[in-house]
C-alpha cells in the first residue's frame, strides 16, 4: 500500500532546494501495519535528534490520505504560531474542527492538549464508525513538559478504549515522538505505552540523500561523520561541505555541553559506548548519546560498530560527537 509515486517533497532551508523523501520503506510498512491493525497502547517513537521522525510521520499521514478508511492527523506540538505548519491531516473536516478550536497560541501545544476534543467534534461532522483512526503528536513531551508525560500518555491509552466503546471505530493508533532521554525513561516505567526506537538512515538511504544534495564528499567519509543522520548531512551541506568548519561548529556546541563531566569518564565512553551507563545517561539527556532498545524497533536497528561509536546497549547519536570528544579529552 505504500505509494512510491506520492509527491512528497521536502524544502531544505539554507540550501534553497527541494528534495524527495528517501528510504524508510521498512519503517513505513511497519507503521502502516500498525495503523491497519491498531494498537491497544499508544506508541512512543524515540530516536536521535534529526534522524527523521517528523519527516517520516508527515509522510505516513500523506500516505494514509489516499485510503478512504483512514482518518489521520499529525500535530507538531512545538509549533508556536502557524496552524498550517502545526497540522497535517487526511480530511478537510479535521482541518475545519481544528481551525474552529484553536485561536490561542502556542497552537501546537494547545492542539496536542485538545486531541480528545478534536476527535469528539470530528465525530459530529463525520462518523468515526468503522474508521481506522491515526493520531500523531510530534515532540509532545517537550511541549507539555516532563511532569505531564505519564498523565498525557495514560489519557491517550484510555482513549483507545473510549473510541472503540463510544464511536465504534475500527482501529486506533496513537503515535508520540520524543528525542529526549528523560521523557523516554519516564515512559519505560509504565505499562500502558510501547516505546519504539528509531535510528538514523541506513547507508543506502544516506547515499540517496547525498546524491540529491550533490554532496562532493565520498559516501564512506560522510557515513563516518554523520552515521546517516539526515539533519547532520543537511547541516554539513549548509556549511558548504567544509568538513573542518562543520567539525569546529560541532566542537563548540559539544564543548559547552560536557564541561562539567570528568574527562577521564568521557574517555572511557569514547573507547567503548557501553562502558559507563551513568555518564552515558547524562550524555543522553544532552542529546549526545542514546540507549539502544533492540527489542522494539521501527526500521533497522544499528549494528554494533566501534568506529561509528555504536555499542550493544549505547551509541553516540552521531559519530562526529565521539570524534570531537576524543579530541577534546586527549588535549586535556
Ligand atoms: N527520509 C528522508 N528523506 C529525505 N530527507 C529527510 C528524511 N528524513 C529526514 N530528512 C531531512 O532531515 C531533516 C531532519 O529530519 P526530522 O524529520 O526533522 O528529524 P527528527 O524529527 O527526528 O528530529 C528534515 O528536515 C529533512 O530535511
Ligand atoms: Mg522532529
Give the chain's end-to-end CA distance (angstroms, integer): 55
This prediction's pTM: 0.96
The protein residue with its alpha carbon nearest to ligand 1, atom 11, reads: 230
Closest by Cα among 187, 116, 122 to 149: 187
| pLDDT for residue 104 is more than 70 | yes
The protein residue with its alpha carbon nearest to ligand 1, atom 9, reads: 52
The x, y and z cell numbers of residue 318, run together, are 552521531
| Rounded mean pLDDT, 84-113 | 88
Centre of ligand 1 from the C-alpha of residue 41, in Å:
26
- For the Cβ of 22 lying below 6 angstroms from any atom of ligand 1, the answer is yes
| Rounded mean pLDDT, 232-253 | 97
Provide the β-strand partners of residue 44: 176, 195
- For the Cβ of 53 lying below 6 angstroms from any atom of ligand 1, the answer is yes
- For the Cβ of 236 lying below 6 angstroms from any atom of ligand 1, the answer is no
Which atom of ligand 1 is least distant from the CA of 48? Answer: 22
- For the Cβ of 17 lying below 6 angstroms from any atom of ligand 1, the answer is no
Which atom of ligand 1 is least distant from the CA of 20? Answer: 4
Centre of ligand 2 from the C-alpha of residue 167, in Å:
31
Q: At what angle do helices 319-330 and 219-226 cross, to 10 degrees?
A: 70
pLDDT for res 205: 98
| pLDDT for residue 248 is more than 80 | yes
Please enumerate, as own/partner, the contacts of 217-225 that have beta carbons within 8 Å and a separation of 24 or more: 217/241, 217/243, 223/308, 224/307, 224/308, 224/319, 225/318, 225/319, 225/320, 225/323
What does the pLDDT look like over 19-37, one tens digit per residue?
A: 999 999 999 999 999 999 9
Provide, for the chain, the percentages of residues in helix, strand and coil under a 3-state DSSP scheme, each rounded to the nearest 5. Answer: 50, 15, 35
The protein residue with its alpha carbon nearest to ligand 1, atom 5, reads: 21
Go through the domains of the chain in sequence order and give each one's CATH number.
24-198 (3.40.50.300), 203-292+302-330 (no CATH)
In the chain, % of residues over pLDDT 90: 90
pLDDT for res 195: 96
Amino acid at each position: 500500500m505504500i505509494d512510491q509515486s506520492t509527491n512528497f517533497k521536502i524544502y531544505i532551508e539554507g540550501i534553497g532546494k527541494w528534495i524527495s523523501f528517501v528510504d524508510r520503506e521498512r519503517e513505513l510498512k511497519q507503521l502502516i501495519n500498525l495503523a491497519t491493525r491498531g494498537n491497544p497502547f499508544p506508541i512512543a517513537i524515540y530516536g536521535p535528534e534529526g534522524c527523521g521522525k517528523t519527516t517520516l510521520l508527515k509522510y505516513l499521514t500523506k500516505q494514509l490520505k489516499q485510503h478512504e478508511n483512514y482518518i489521520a492527523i499529525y500535530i507538531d506540538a512545538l509549533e508556536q504560531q502557524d496552524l498550517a505548519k502545526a497540522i497535517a491531516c487526511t480530511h478537510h473536516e479535521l482541518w475545519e474542527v481544528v481551525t474552529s478550536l484553536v485561536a490561542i497560541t502556542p497552537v501546537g501545544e494547545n492542539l496536542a492538549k485538545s486531541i480528545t476534543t478534536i476527535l469528539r467534534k470530528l465525530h459530529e461532522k463525520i462518523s468515526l464508525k468503522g474508521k481506522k483512526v491515526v493520531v500523531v503528536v510530534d515532540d509532545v513531551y517537550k511541549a507539555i513538559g516532563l511532569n505531564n508525560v505519564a498523565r498525557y500518555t495514560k489519557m491517550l491509552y484510555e482513549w483507545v478504549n473510549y473510541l472503540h466503546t463510544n464511536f465504534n471505530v475500527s482501529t486506533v493508533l496513537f503515535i508520540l515522538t520524543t528525542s529526549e532521554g528523560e521523557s523516554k525513561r519516564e515512559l519505560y516505567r509504565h505499562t500502558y505505552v510501547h516505546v519504539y526506537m528509531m535510528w538514523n538512515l541506513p547507508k543506502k538511504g544516506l547515499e540517496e540523500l547525498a546524491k540529491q544534495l550533490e554532496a562532493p564528499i565520498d559516501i564512506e567519509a560522510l557515513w563516518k561523520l554523520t552515521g546517516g543522520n539526515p539533519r547532520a548531512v543537511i547541516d554539513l551541506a549548509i556549511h558548504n561541505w567544509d568538513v573542518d568548519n562543520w567539525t569546529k561548529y560541532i566542537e563548540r556546541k559539544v564543548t559547552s555541553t560536557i564541561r562539567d563531566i570528568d574527562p577521564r569518564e568521557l574517555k572511557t565512553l569514547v573507547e567503548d559506548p557501553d562502558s559507563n551507563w551513568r555518564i552515558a545517561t547524562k550524555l543522553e539527556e544532552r542529546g549526545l548519546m542514546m540507549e539502544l532498545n533492540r527489542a522494539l524497533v521501527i526500521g533497522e536497528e544499528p549494528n554494533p560498530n566501534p568506529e561509528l561509536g555504536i555499542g550493544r546497549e549505547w551509541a553516540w547519536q552521531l559519530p562526529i560527537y565521539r570524534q570531537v570528544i576524543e579530541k577534546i579529552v586527549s588535549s586535556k
